[in-house]
A and B are shown apart, each in its own frame.
Chain A
Amino acid sequence: MDLKDKLVSSFMAFENTVDVNHPVHEVRSEAIKNFETLGFPSKKMESWKYTSLKSILKPQLSVFPKKETSLDYKDVKQYFIHEIESYKIVFVDGVYSSHLSETSHEGLDVCLMSAALSKPKYRLLIENYFNKIAVKDGLTSLNTAFSKEGAFINIPRGVVVEKPIQILHFTTGVESSLLTQPRNLVVVGENAHVQIIERHQSLTDNPTFTNCVTEIFANKRGIVDYYKIQNDRDEASLIDNTYISQQRNSHVSVHTFSLGGKLTRNNLQFFQKGEYLDSTLKGVTITDKKQHVDHSTLVHHAQPNCESHQDYKGIYADKSTGVFNGQIIVEKEAQKTNGFQQSNNILLDDTATINAKPQLEIFADDVRCSHGCTIGQLDDEALLYLRSRGIPKKEATALLMFGFANNVLESVKIPQLKQRITKLIASKLGVNLGFDL
């Protein structure tokens, strides 16, 4: 039996573990049918032309953890931004870990999708938001069908959340063939403000596969800053589907730092639903060995007077591959749109590959859209300049890379997070630079 058939037939067993009378279950049933029809994406599809899932879609993958594993905080502390006060929502093999978490219901909800799906007081929120902007492709449908657990964040109108919220998904590998499918929902009320840091972390050398879906809703004048740290182990693969809906005057930014992992595909899609709002998409990607990182972004400008800013920096070494597929759609109504897209890439070796494809579809006539894509090598003259000041080649190379990525790093608004990412990058590059950016 292939993986698709196996997953479809697992759905019946899955139904025994959830409340089938909840309205969401209808959504799940629809979704499994959809997945059955669509299946997994293949390279024949235009949007998956450069990314093949073949190597990670193993038939032995299972959606049910065989046993629960618990972790000690001291063993996983390094994966938290522990230098700051924060809320924490932590999962181990897809199961909520209460002792690692710090949730809240005081003036806001920082809790679990399972709670949101079971408690009557959240029913209206779920009806209004759950699966309302997630695109109904094969992978997202698969996630929706098995959606049960993940982070649920509800920030009421006017609440400025003082502490960032960290979402951590650990995979332990006790279950080596587990497919985890977290489902996160973030609802940010009018004038509310929240910062979220999300990380998927495998703790095993066994292959792991995560197919995550996050829906984010920013209401009028809401502000959301979302940071994704992708620094997973060599055998960990991640499909990260993030769908964002924005209302008038809201500001949403998503930063994605892709340093580790075997195969990472980011489907990041913004849907603009009001005027005078802006969407920011930034990323730093540094890969080596046989890593593959794919950023497929979409900004859908559907209303007038909105902005979008995309800035992705990629550095590829060894036999690694990068993909940047940036789609901007400007609808006929979306006059005075200001859309900016930049993708700069450095190939360190002849064997590394980048596929970059800006895709602008503009139906309005009074817009400003600019896009720039560069692919190059490190500047030898710059390298010589730094070396002639006593900086060894490896450190000089790293310094140039930091300089290259700096535009994105400096827009991280949480200083401790910026520091951590700087350290992760330095460690990826094998250097110890004596300064903080």
Chain B
Amino acid sequence: MAGNTETDMLKIKNLHASVEGKEILKGINLEVNPGEVHAIMGPNGSGKSTLASVIAGNEDFEVTDGTIELEGEELNELAPEERAHQGVFLSFQYPVEIPGVTVTNFMKTAINETRKARGLEEMPANEMLKKIREKSELLEIDRKFLSRSLNEGFSGGEKKRNEIFQMAMMEPKLAILDETDSGLDIDALKVVANGVNRLKTPQNATIVITHYQRLLDYIVPDHVHVLLNGKIVKSGGKELALELEEKGYDWIKQEAAV
């Protein structure tokens, strides 16, 4: 098995992916260590969401070359649910509305199916309730909300908070937040960011995908990468995000073209 299993949480090598024959990712290389927060920024259409979808196992995208490894294990051939069992979590840019399935039943099923896959017993009902209560408090989610149909009629902010609530419940090794800040007002943004920060441990890692710097004021990244036309063209520290905020993406485009 390739990869440095001692330190790497996620290792992406020369990743190419296409949808309907059109190549979107054109050779991505990325390494994320436990305890780190990485931000991936870039203009619209640069492939940010595709990268998130491909890591999570969306079968609409075809990986044509390269590998994705989590803790030294290759994910390429795994189904989305198997990647979740391995500890990958994707906070969706557009969470799907599921009528007739309550948030609570959904979470119970997700947690117990994941435990089953890991060879664990189902979580006892009282423990489940306790956990749901704790995590919903962390995200300032009203109890009534939990008995509503998943995402149905939720506001944009409620949907995103619910995504982070699910992340808190699932306790992933690697969380990918795809445009979690879009559609959030400043108060909701703070709640979401606070939730993400509180869930941070030295053992897990987070990838924040965003168009704007705003979210990074609250979730401070260790590394910032700029994605352009399917490739990471520049990487740096958190100051790179501020530079992008100030100067836009054009200078990177010029730099990349040289």
Contact = CB atoms under 8 A, between A and B. Distances in A.
Contacts of A434: 108-109, 112, 122
B248 interface: no
Contacts of B90: 388
Given A403-B98, A403-B99, A405-B100, A391 B108 contact: no
B81 A388 contact: yes
A420 B139 CA distance: 35
Given A381-B96, A434-B108, A399 B81 contact: no
B101 A391 contact: no
A400 B101 contact: yes
A403 B100 CA distance: 4
Interface string B103-135: 011101111111001000010000000000000
Given A395-B109, A399-B109, A390 B98 contact: no
Contacts of B170: 389-390
Interface string A279-301: 00000000000000000000000
A385 interface: yes
A407 B100 CA distance: 7
A381 B112 CA distance: 22
Interface string A393-432: 1011001101111110000000000000000000000000
Interface in B134-167: 149, 166
A395 B113 contact: yes
B149 to A, nearest CB: 7
Interface residues of B, number: 35
Nearest to A385: B96
A387 B101 contact: no
A433 B109 contact: yes
Contact of B79 (A379, A387, A404, A406): A387
Interface string B202-236: 00000000000000000000000000000000000
A390 B95 contact: no
Chain A: interface size category: 20 to 34
Given A384-B58, A384-B80, A396-B81, A391 B110 contact: yes
Contacts of A435: 104-105, 108-109
A251 to B, nearest CB: 24
A404 B100 contact: yes
Contacts of A437: 105
B56 interface: yes
A399 B102 CA distance: 10
A385 B56 CA distance: 10
B83 interface: yes
Contacts of B85: 390
A404 B109 contact: no
B168 to A, nearest CB: 13
B249 interface: no
A136 to B, nearest CB: 40
A396 to B, nearest CB: 7
Given A385-B92, A388-B56, A402 B100 contact: yes
Nearest to A391: B113
B57 interface: yes
Which of A388, A393, A407 gathers the greatest number of chain B CB atoms within 10 Å?
A388
A334 B212 CA distance: 60
Nearest to A379: B96
Contact of B84 (A387, A399, A400, A402): A387
Interface string A367-389: 00000000000010110111111
A393 B79 contact: yes
A391 B109 contact: yes
Nearest to A392: B81
A392 B113 contact: yes
A384 B52 CA distance: 13
A403 B81 contact: no
A390 B99 contact: no
B125 to A, nearest CB: 9
A313 B83 CA distance: 33
A271 B130 CA distance: 51
Interface in B37-56: 56
A399 B101 contact: yes
Given A390-B110, A437-B105, A382 B98 contact: yes
Contact of A387 (B80, B98, B104, B122): B80
Nearest to B91: A388
B106 A399 contact: yes
Given A390-B113, A390-B170, A403 B96 contact: no
Nearest to A380: B60
Nearest to B85: A390
B95 A385 contact: yes
Contacts of A404: 99-100
Contacts of A396: 81
B84 A403 contact: no
B135 to A, nearest CB: 14
Q: Residue among A387, A390, A391, A435 with the most chain B CB within 10 A?
A: A390
Contacts of B101: 399-400, 402-403, 406
A389 B175 CA distance: 12
Contacts of A384: 58-59, 80, 96
Contacts of A386: 98, 106, 110
Contacts of A393: 79, 81
16 contacts: A382-B96, A384-B59, A385-B96, A387-B79, A388-B83, A389-B114, A390-B81, A390-B85, A390-B114, A391-B81, A399-B98, A402-B100, A403-B98, A403-B99, A404-B99, A406-B101
Interface of A: 379, 381-382, 384-393, 395-396, 399-400, 402-407, 433-435, 437
Given A396-B81, A404-B100, 8 more contacts: A381-B96, A386-B98, A388-B56, A388-B81, A388-B90, A399-B105, A403-B101, A437-B105
